[in-house]
Amino acid sequence: MSAPAEPYNQIPDRTRCPTCGASRRGEALCHRCKSDLTLLIRLEHCVDQLRLRARRCYARGWYRRAAAVADRVVSLESRPEDLQLLACARLMWGDFVGAADGYCQTRRQTSRIHGGIHDFRLQSSIPSGCDSH
């Protein structure tokens, strides 16, 4: 029997085949169901590169560019740290409404992940400058 489908609002599990739920072994074909994972692996690589680019832009003070790249990352694979970066970048370049929206998205996603518990100790991944007053 295959693993239950992952809810849309949760973080994707990159360690499992999206078709059958088997552990991925870093190969382009699933060892169990033989699904071709090539495009998924390429997409994950692209998301990782975009995530890195967003962080570098933020570190250089290019907040508008960081927000644009982080927004692209969130549209492909939304993780709490990506939403936090997006909210912080928007805040730093003056998009206060967008920053508030990003903060609310982060709270909703973190709440779903932690079963309704608002645990923001995860915010250690927030870039410096966003957590200050």
Query: What tokens were used for 81?
Result: 């740290």
Grade residue 125 by pLDDT with cuts at 50, 70 and 90.
very low
Mean pLDDT for the chain overall: 79
CA 115/CA 130 separation, integer angstroms: 26
pLDDT tens digits, 94-120: 888 888 887 877 777 766 655 544 444
Closest of 73, 85, 93 to residue 127, by C-alpha:
85
pLDDT of residue 122: 40
Residue 112: what pLDDT? Answer: 62
What does pTM read for this prediction?
Answer: 0.69
Q: Delimit the domains of the chain by residue range.
A: 38-118
In contact, 78 and 11? CB cutoff 8 Å: yes
Q: For 32, what's the count of Cα atoms within 13 Å in the CB-facing half-sphere?
A: 13
Residue-wise pLDDT for 81-100, tens only, equals 898 999 999 999 888 888 88
Instruction: Pick 121 or 45 by higher pLDDT.
Output: 45
Distance of CA 84 to the CA centre of its chain: 9
Please provide the CATH number assigned to the domain covering 38-118: 1.25.40
Give the residue carrying structure tokens 């085949």: 17
